[in-house]
């Protein structure tokens, strides 16, 4: 089975309908990631097939919960989940935030080559980031524990918006340590084809 066929099958299993062009862009992103990874060490995942499941499909599993408007990807790293989300939902206005210069150099080049005109890249620490406009949602993938994520990111999200934290196993201990003012918290189990490990998304209303 080709990589595109694996991607199409995975998307179908997740109930996501993407066009041929979108699938091609997702695979082009993986190719870019592999090319730059040799020099910049963007990700520990090396195999193309593993990137497909651990990066692309893992990122796209949160798509139904992202909503519309402005999204901030905190600690974006190699562009995960922001770039796959931008390809899958092109009307989203996404800002990729990372303090690592090598990674943001890659992100800017990837946005140019993938023609992601609604994606901005910021090379700055999240605790000093001062956007002109607040975001409808802020997402992170393996950025920090929940309390730290909320402490750093809640101020960047508009009132009534959502904080989205991508996690592996159900984060019992991290949830117990959340600040008391965050009562509207939902945890959903994510189905990621090709992954044996658990995946969860913590949704916090602000």
Q: Which residues are annotated as a binding site?
A: 75, 80, 141
The half-sphere exposure of 157 on its side-chain side, counting CA atoms within 13 A, is 25
In this structure, are residues 119 and 94 in contact, taking their beta carbons and an 8 Å threshold?
yes
DSSP per-residue letters across 63-89: HHHH-SSEEEEET-TTTTTHHHHHHH-
State the binding site for S-adenosyl-L-methionine: 75, 80, 141
Q: What is the DSSP letter of 52?
A: I
Strand partners, 97: 74, 122
**Within its chain, how far is the Cα of 6 from the centroid?**
20
């Amino acid at each position: 089975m080709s990589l595109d066929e694996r991607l199409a099958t995975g998307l179908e299993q997740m109930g996501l309908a993407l066009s041929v062009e979108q699938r091609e862009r997702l695979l082009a992103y993986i190719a870019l990631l592999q090319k730059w990874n040799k020099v910049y060490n963007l990700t520990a995942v090396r195999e193309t097939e593993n990137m497909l499941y651990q990066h692309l499909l893992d990122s796209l599993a949160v798509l139904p919960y992202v909503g519309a408007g402005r999204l901030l990807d905190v600690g974006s790293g190699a562009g995960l989940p922001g770039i796959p989300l931008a390809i899958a939902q092109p009307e989203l206005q996404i800002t990729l935030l990372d303090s690592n210069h090598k990674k943001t150099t890659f992100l800017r080049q990837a946005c140019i080559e993938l023609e992601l005109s609604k994606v901005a890249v910021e090379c700055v620490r999240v605790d000093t980031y001062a956007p002109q406009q607040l975001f409808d949602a802020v997402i992170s993938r393996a950025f920090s524990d929940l309390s730290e994520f909320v402490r750093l990111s809640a101020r960047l999200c508009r009132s009534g918006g959502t904080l989205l934290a991508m996690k592996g196993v159900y984060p019992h201990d991290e949830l117990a340590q959340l600040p008391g003012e965050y009562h509207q918290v939902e945890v959903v189990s994510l189905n990621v084809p090709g992954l044996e490990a658990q995946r969860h998304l913590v949704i916090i209303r602000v």
